[in-house]
């Protein structure tokens, strides 16, 4: 049993950063940090289930990350493939709905097939929704939404454009905007993550490297969130 924070966010998002440095500190190849980081994902997912959080999302791979050396990119793609293949029983056990969002264009075919299968097999789950942002960037999302909306406006000019309509064209349609963003490893930037969706998100930064970010650290960040005063531009 854990002591639940007084305020539980609906959607928590995490920028999992510092895997490479974690491995380098141990004199190992960067990929070891990625392997160990999978355990942190599991820990955050299970704690989220325990606390009754509705949505948890992870920035797993940015569009910019394609610019890393081929060997690291390939290892990351294989790691994601294996993790998704292996985790289906865990998703079932916890009634987790699993989703992957991002630009699928450059993803390996076998990975796309696995993503589709796991998403299909968990689509009716009623518990936590767990989202992996893969080959995602905030600017890409805004651009793909703008293109689709522009086409629709040619056919139906009466549709108009406002923030609510625009939101429906983002890949996050139907998912509440993040209440809390946690970024590990001491970096304090958004790195082209959900730019539109984070207009009013609370940010928590920690120096802990992602492979060391487990239940205790997660609870600490949630406590910090519970102490924040969210005003959304208004006054009390
Ligand atoms: C985060 O860890 C994982 C990805 C971005 C895929 P990094 O690989 O960025 O680790 P550092 O920041 O180099 O330590
Ligand atoms: C952000 O981490 C992207 C992910 C965690 C997937 P990076 O390590 O790529 O970010 P920068 O380059 O330090 O901004
Ligand atoms: Mg990094």
CA separation for the pair 192, 211 (Å, rounded)? 22
CA separation for the pair 55, 201 (Å, rounded)? 14
Instruction: Say which ligand is closest to the CA of 18.
Output: 1
Here the tokens at position 107 are: 């993803």
Task: Give the pLDDT band (50/70/90) at residue 2.
Answer: confident
CA separation for the pair 222, 228 (Å, rounded)? 10
Quickly tell me which residue has 């985790």 as its tokens: 87
Closest CA to 187 of 70, 20, 10, 55: 20
Q: What is the pLDDT of residue 31?
A: 96
Here the tokens at position 196 are: 């539109």
pLDDT tens per residue, range 56-71: 999 999 999 999 999 9
pLDDT tens per residue, range 153-182: 999 999 999 999 999 999 999 999 999 999
pTM above 0.85, yes or no: yes
Quick one: which atom of ligand 1 is closest to the CA of 22? 14
Residue 18 CA, ligand 1 centroid: distance in Å: 5
β-partners of residue 59 are: 15, 133
Whose alpha carbon is nearest atom 1 of ligand 1? 17
């Amino acid at each position: 049993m854990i002591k639940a924070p007084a305020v539980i966010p609906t959607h928590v998002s995490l920028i999992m950063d510092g895997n490479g440095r974690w491995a380098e500190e141990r004199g190992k190849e960067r990929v070891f940090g990625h392997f160990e980081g999978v355990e942190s994902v599991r820990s955050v997912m299970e704690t989220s289930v325990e606390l009754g959080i509705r949505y948890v999302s992870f920035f797993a791979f940015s569009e910019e990350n394609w610019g890393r050396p081929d060997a690291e990119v390939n290892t990351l793609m294989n790691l994601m493939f294996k993790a998704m293949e292996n985790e289906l029983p865990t998703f079932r056990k916890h009634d987790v709905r699993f989703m992957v969002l991002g630009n699928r264009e450059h993803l390996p075919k076998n990975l796309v097939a696995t993503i589709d299968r796991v998403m299909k097999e968990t689509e009716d789950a009623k518990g936590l929704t767990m989202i992996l942002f893969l080959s995602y960037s905030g600017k890409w999302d805004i651009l793909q939404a703008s293109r689709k909306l522009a086409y629709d406006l040619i056919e139906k000019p009466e549709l108009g454009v406002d923030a609510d309509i625009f939101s429906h064209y983002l890949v996050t349609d139907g998912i509440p905007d993040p209440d809390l963003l946690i970024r590990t490893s001491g970096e304090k930037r958004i790195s082209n993550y959900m730019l539109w969706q984070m207009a009013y998100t609370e940010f928590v930064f920690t120096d802990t490297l992602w492979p060391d970010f487990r239940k205790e650290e997660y609870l600490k960040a949630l406590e910090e969130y519970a102490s924040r005063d969210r005003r959304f531009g208004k006054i009390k």
